[in-house]
Chain A
């Protein structure tokens, strides 16, 4: 791994943050109407249309408070300076809580749920896919492919909904929402641990079931391609043991694109988790974003989005750094 390679990847990471940050700045400003004025009018209407003489002055003072009267380039610059300080302002929904604090409070739940289930789905799916792509696998197993397809086709949240129906209404054995029992005092003991796991089973299973097929099908495709390669034939002619050909020759090579898939999939999983979290009332990032949007909390929306993109970009960067270590071809090419 050369310095040049690392620098290029780092440049990509910075660029992702830059593009995302600029979008985040531009999207709210593309609105044709003045948000402050709109909000004031909304409040006035709620107050019963009371005429307040100095609304214009109020608007002006708010604009000054948020720096909205500055020229656009100045606002843009200030925006990046604030970002660098991780200052996203204060949440309106949870006023006067800091946006950063709210994000940090929700992040562990999402990382725990989504992170663990994504890795589990990748491992289980890749294993199944490798097995399915292996030519010596019994025919009966090939019926798994259509089954995987169907399970993958149902989006996370709808699968979650079906499971919610089965396990909380039809056969009530699991809790229907939240991340832990609200009556349980949080402590580092076994009861808390079991309680948290119990609450994570349904949303976690929904994520795993609906993404396992993605991994399985991808892995199967790569296995089929790899099995057609000449080095597999050579290994067979050399009389190597099947197990060795399977693991060291076929799986090892087929697994490589799966690693990149893991990086790209993280973004999708984070997106999909919004719906799962809302459905299961799980107090993670997705739920926070949903609350922010339903309560028009623009600072919180911007903050959540920026943190998520930062996390996804960082994950991609790390995978890019790991990739040459497991794929010698890239290592040699860049050396």
Chain B
């Protein structure tokens, strides 16, 4: 931030010279300074936290039964046994059903909460696997070089051109029913190339730095150098790549599921998109059906983008400008 107010970072001594007050104030100034120095990272994290809280709290307070077709929300005692009160479909949002009900009388609030949870879980799995493979190959290629490096580069260059969703659609056409976890693994396996490129390029520039040479002369092994010298320096890049991978995986999974080719038995935002596209939420004007998942997806992806941009600023100080 070029126009940052630097005077805020140099606190004036309080008049009473009370040491504890002084410490309190510097700590606060430090924290607020850190936040202000990285508004994007902070705001993005808040957005993500909000979505995670919504999903976790929502799934805790609402019964998962409500995401199923034909759930009964009350049982009535009558003379001839109990009668299940069926919920009406296509209800507008009310105090009982916060986001209304869909075509099949499912509680949309419950579905969005559980669906968000499922989608987040899937994105996390895909991100971890994609980053794992990508980082590993990037390190191997960048650090050791040789023919292995050539193979990795050529393979990642070729694979990165194949449209991810097309590949995913094709693979899923040959697979039977996927679970959310399997889809996460699958997406992770086909989307490591970006990370490999970034990590490899960074390792190439880092491995000839003086401090790496020094560690070599000190007799440290390759593994030790990678773990103690390279990984800490690459952390912001890997973190940014991880966040990007999660965002990408979530978008891919929603795309796949919206076509009806993803996991069908567990609630997810993508499956929800499939339902509301297939059963005409738009022509029926049921905005409370397609609105909430779109808003959740938008907030989540905006948050991830902001975190990536914030991490980029840490990794690349040149990007630190106002705005």
Contact between A289 and B169 (Cβ–Cβ < 8 Å)?
yes
Contact between A293 and B169 (Cβ–Cβ < 8 Å)?
yes
Q: Is B49 an interface residue (CB 8 A)?
A: no
CB distance from B255 to the nearest CB of A (A): 6
Q: Is B287 an interface residue (CB 8 A)?
A: yes
Q: Which of A150, A224, A312 contacts B319 (CB 8 A)?
A: A224
Q: Is A27 an interface residue (CB 8 A)?
A: yes
Q: Is A36 an interface residue (CB 8 A)?
A: no
CB distance from A250 to the nearest CB of B (A): 14
Q: A162: which B residues are within 8 A, CB to CB?
A: 290, 294
Interface residues on chain A, size class = 35 or more
Q: Once bound together, how far apart are the Cα atoms of A322 and B259, in whole Å? A: 36
Q: Which of B158, B164, B277, B282 contacts A19 (CB 8 A)?
A: B158
Q: B258: which A residues are within 8 A, CB to CB?
A: 157, 275
Known pairs A152-B305, A161-B282; A271 contacts B298 (CB<8 A): no
Q: A24: which B residues are within 8 A, CB to CB?
A: 170
Q: A221: which B residues are within 8 A, CB to CB?
A: 319
User: Contact mask A230-270 → B, CB, 8 Å, 1/0?
Assistant: 00000000000000000000000000000000001001101
Known pairs A162-B294, A221-B319, A293-B261; A309 contacts B161 (CB<8 A): yes
Q: Is A228 an interface residue (CB 8 A)?
A: yes
Q: Once bound together, how far apart are the Cα atoms of A229 and B165, in whole Å? A: 38
Q: A168: which B residues are within 8 A, CB to CB?
A: 282-283
CB distance from A225 to the nearest CB of B (A): 5
Contact between A158 and B282 (Cβ–Cβ < 8 Å)?
no
Main secondary structure of the interface of A (DSSP, over half): helix
Q: Which B residue sits closest to A289, measured CB to CB?
A: B169
Q: Is B160 an interface residue (CB 8 A)?
A: yes
Contact between B321 and A224 (Cβ–Cβ < 8 Å)?
yes
Q: Once bound together, how far apart are the Cα atoms of A181 and B173, in whole Å? A: 32
Q: Once bound together, how far apart are the Cα atoms of A157 and B163, in whole Å? A: 16
Q: Once bound together, how far apart are the Cα atoms of A313 and B163, in whole Å? A: 11
Contact between B165 and A313 (Cβ–Cβ < 8 Å)?
no
Q: Which of A142, A153, A268 contacts B322 (CB 8 A)?
A: A142
Contact between B161 and A16 (Cβ–Cβ < 8 Å)?
yes
Contact between A165 and B171 (Cβ–Cβ < 8 Å)?
no
Q: B14: which A residues are within 8 A, CB to CB?
A: none
Contact between B283 and A169 (Cβ–Cβ < 8 Å)?
yes
Contact between A30 and B174 (Cβ–Cβ < 8 Å)?
yes
The interface centre, meaning the residue of B163, B254, B258, B290 with most chain A CB atoms within 10 A of its CB, is: B163
Q: A145: which B residues are within 8 A, CB to CB?
A: 323
Contact between B285 and A165 (Cβ–Cβ < 8 Å)?
yes
User: Contact mask B106-119 → A, CB, 8 Å, 1/0?
Assistant: 00000000000000
Q: B290: which A residues are within 8 A, CB to CB?
A: 161-162, 165
Contact between A268 and B163 (Cβ–Cβ < 8 Å)?
yes
Residues of chain A touching chain B, judged by Cβ–Cβ distance below 8 Å, are 12, 15-16, 18-20, 23-24, 27-28, 30-31, 132, 142, 145, 149-150, 152-155, 157-158, 161-162, 164-165, 168-170, 176, 221, 224-225, 228, 264, 267-268, 270-272, 274-275, 278-279, 289-290, 293-294, 296, 298, 301, 305, 308-309, 312-313, 316
24 A-B Cβ contacts within 8 A? A12-B157, A16-B162, A19-B158, A20-B162, A27-B170, A27-B171, A142-B323, A149-B305, A150-B302, A165-B290, A169-B282, A221-B319, A224-B318, A225-B319, A267-B161, A270-B166, A271-B166, A272-B165, A274-B165, A275-B258, A296-B173, A309-B163, A309-B166, A312-B163
Given A16-B162, A274-B255, 14 new contacts (CB under 8 A): A16-B157, A19-B162, A27-B174, A31-B174, A149-B305, A153-B297, A153-B305, A154-B297, A154-B301, A158-B294, A158-B298, A161-B282, A267-B161, A312-B163
Pairs A-B, 4 closest by C-beta atoms: A271-B165, A153-B301, A271-B163, A267-B163
